[in-house]
Amino acid sequence: MNINTESVNSVLDLDYSIVKEEFVIQDKEVECYQKNCEENKNSQDIQESEEIVQFVITEIKDKKYICEFCNKAFTRLSNLSEHMVTHSSEKNSKCNICPGAFKSQRRLKRHILETHTNETHPCTLCNKTFTVGIKLRRHLRRHSKERRYPCDLCDKRFKDATTRYIHKQVVHLGKKRNITNQE
């Protein structure tokens, strides 16, 4: 494995839509979902989108380990090594409950949590239940009228980043929608 230790130089090319994919503004908190970022900020501290972009730039500029396959950058070599398994076809993490096999321990743990535990998180607004709390929180956005994700190419707004991404791909880039489960 070759490791690129150059700093990320394209930091200033970030646009707000990309930044918003990395950060979720919810419950008065901006939380970084990258594993190696342990910093959370109050939304009271971050008033403008430019400040969010600056926060992301601060997070990215110290990342010196870059994946040779997808150019994703990491601050620690151990995080890059963990990431590299996503580019492999080998599935060495095997479930001891069923025949499932996965590329990483993280994905195996998620599988066990979602498939082999009895814990449920019910939606109080409809009859759906979820095995993982984050999926319930994402689902609850469907019941909300709030559309926090604007398209930067037109005036449409969306309830989640995934729907906005699909909209941009299909409407603005002319790509056909491929409806498959990508995991």
Cα–Cα dist 140/146, whole Å: 11
Q: Which CATH architecture has domain 91-143?
A: 2-Layer Sandwich (3.30)
* Amino acid making up residue 103: K
The pLDDT tens digits along the chain (183 residues) read 444 434 333 333 444 444 444 444 333 344 454 444 545 444 444 444 555 556 655 655 666 788 888 888 887 888 888 888 888 888 989 999 999 999 888 889 888 888 888 888 899 999 898 888 888 888 888 888 888 889 999 999 988 888 888 888 888 888 776 554 444
pTM of the model: 0.39
Cα–Cα dist 124/105, whole Å: 32
Cα–Cα dist 4/14, whole Å: 20
- Give the model's pLDDT for residue 62: 65
Query: Taking Cα atoms as reference points, which of 14, 16, 42, 15 lies closest to residue 28?
Result: 42
Reported as type and span, the H/E element at residue 142 is helix 133-143
The class (CATH top level) of 59-88 is alpha beta
Q: How many residues does the chain have?
A: 183
Q: Are the CB atoms for 108 and 95 separated by under 8 Å?
A: yes
Enumerate the domain spans of the chain.
Answer: 59-88, 91-143, 147-177
